[in-house]
Structure 1
């Protein structure tokens, strides 16, 4: 039996966070290039809310396109590799977002596990404020394969019945951390990103 938690951890909010509602619907390659640029050239933490220009599936840095295509055989989809890890994500009905956090004189960064809990804890509060009940997983759900939303893992957000709502992949580099997230299986009002 999986446990659930609502505990976020002891991280303080980012002192400054720029919200960028990207007005351009982008191809998968463009979206990934923008995220990489935000991390490499940015000076302040940025939350980017965006949308896709075409039906897109992304696969993590350690996956192969053939694996992603095998999950969606015969469908007219655009496949693109993410710069982060994580599973294979069908973005046809998701709310994608990116958080690029830069290191400014920090000697130690929180671990990936702590950052996931911090980001998803903040997102859980936003979802609840928008009327979406959710819980954070304490452990991995039964493995549904490489399809991200069939395989909830520790710190993912799920509906009380276990259906996955939000997950993400991270990439850590010397200058900071990139978190690419996806919210699915719910409707959110405009302004959810400002709450986050």
Structure 2
């Protein structure tokens, strides 16, 4: 049986609003059992901190210090949101994936991998794959930026030097996701790097790595049929009353993501 899931394709917005709306959709899934898939982008380019990161650590990444900052309610490293496609998926507790959150994570990344392999034809010697379990290391040694870290299931593009030890020059992370749970519901949101950003030039995007133009709309159009089939979702234009949803998001914005007390809490 397929689960009805609202589909939102939102205009670019600032970081605090994007995070507030995602949390409002998580509340909707937890309290009313409504599933929503949301696609969005960011303006201006924004640095989002993982929930546990210290705001003072952003000084270690000079290129992004001019970006506004927001703190996510999910973990992981900092992300420069600029030339990317961002998605969020809020699912209610009744969905099987809410009981196996890793399955939701792999569903998103495996269907992205298949989309890039089959619809965008990477050149010979370039592989799109998921990260295998990386070597363990102390959290204190994690790079500041999420896309310089490695977690099992991350979406990677590997160069022709696949037989050599993994280095930043040979293997690049282009997709990562994180989660937040509430009353059994799950919000999973993730970033897909389309092109390199001047605010994080050390991170190439899919376009540079496969050598062809890629747009947010083109990637979404190819990806969504695979994702919805994998998760047994029946996508439809979101029918949630927008005024009520946006009023809740405004309240969350004022009390949390737009507040210095939240952003600079660490």
Pair in the same fold by TM > 0.5: yes
1:1-196 equivalence runs, <5 A: 15-22=3-10, 24-42=11-29, 43-72=33-62, 75-104=65-94, 109-110=99-100, 112-131=101-120, 132=122, 133-140=127-134, 145-161=143-159, 162-184=171-193, 185-186=205-206, 187-188=214-215, 189=218, 191-192=221-222, 194-195=224-225, 196=227
Q: 1:66 to 1:152 in 2, by over 3 A?
A: same
Q: Taking CA–CA contacts closer than 8 Å with sequence separation of 6 or more, which of the two structures ends up with the larger relative contact order?
A: 2
Task: Check conservation: 2:58, 2:65, Cα contact below 8 A.
Answer: no
Aligned length: 181
Which of 1 and 2 has greater Rg?
A: 2
TM-score (norm 2): 0.61
Of 144-153 and 155-164, deviating more is 144-153
C-alpha root-mean-square deviation of aligned residues, in Å?
2.5
In structure 1, runs of 5+ residues without a counterpart are 1-12
Higher share of residues assigned helix: 2
Deviation, structure 1 residue 193:
5.0
Task: Check conservation: 2:49, 2:55, Cα contact below 8 A.
Answer: yes
Deviation, structure 1 residue 74:
6.9
Q: Deviations over 1:91-122 (max 9, x none)?
A: 1222111111111286x701x43332222112
